[in-house]
Amino acid sequence: MASVGRSLFVFLCLVSSIVFVTPDELPDDWPPKDEKFKYEADGLYSEDFDLEIGKGLKTFERNLDDVFTCRLSYEIPKGETETWRFTLNTAADKSSYSCFAERPGPTNSELNFKQFKMSLIGVNEINYGEAYGDPSVSLPAEEYMVDKGNMEVASLPGKFKGHMSRLFAVALMHHPHEEL
């Protein structure tokens, strides 16, 4: 029963933090074919980026509201470059932030990751995190961990099998209560 309550709480947190954006005037040729997708609005930042392939740990990070930073660290020893999307979002009342890193579109990632870690900076508590092998199928719990102390969602060395298509985390901000 506790699992159902936790799932419902996470669902409500995610739904409350989603911002629906419908720009009025977009040109017919947007986004341009030679440019990567990038969108900014109040409480929302989204950008396409290319995962770097090669030796060593690579990092991609972005900031939202000069408060919240999401950092994706990963290692992909070999493969073809893929474009992924990085999205940061906040609830209207700034009580929570979320970060998504995913392979956009209908195709799964073909890359074999050696490791990954999503770090949340500037928030007080990581509330939920999840990694997906296929876009709609969570990785088995033994392949990754949500580290509330370090504010991270990370692969587990020796357990992670290398396949990931989506990674996300939700964090809470604690605002001091004012006495009336």
- Quick check: 20 pLDDT over 70? no
Give the pLDDT of residue 100. Answer: 96
How confident is residue 107, by pLDDT bands cut at 50, 70 and 90?
Answer: confident
User: Could you check whether the bond before residue 31 is cis, i.e. omega within 30 degrees of 0?
Assistant: yes
Secondary element (H or E) of residue 5? helix 2-17
Give the pLDDT of residue 106. Answer: 78
Q: Using one digit for the tens of pLDDT, what is the confidence trace for 108-127?
A: 889 999 999 999 999 999 99
Give the pLDDT of residue 4. Answer: 42
Distance CA 90, CA 123 (A): 11
- Residues of the chain with pLDDT > 70, as a percent, come to 77
Alpha-carbon distances of 5 from 19, 127, 142, rounded to whole Å: 24, 14, 22
- Quick check: 3 pLDDT over 70? no
The one-letter amino acid code at 134 reads: D
Give the pLDDT of residue 136. Answer: 86
Distance CA 53, CA 71 (A): 17
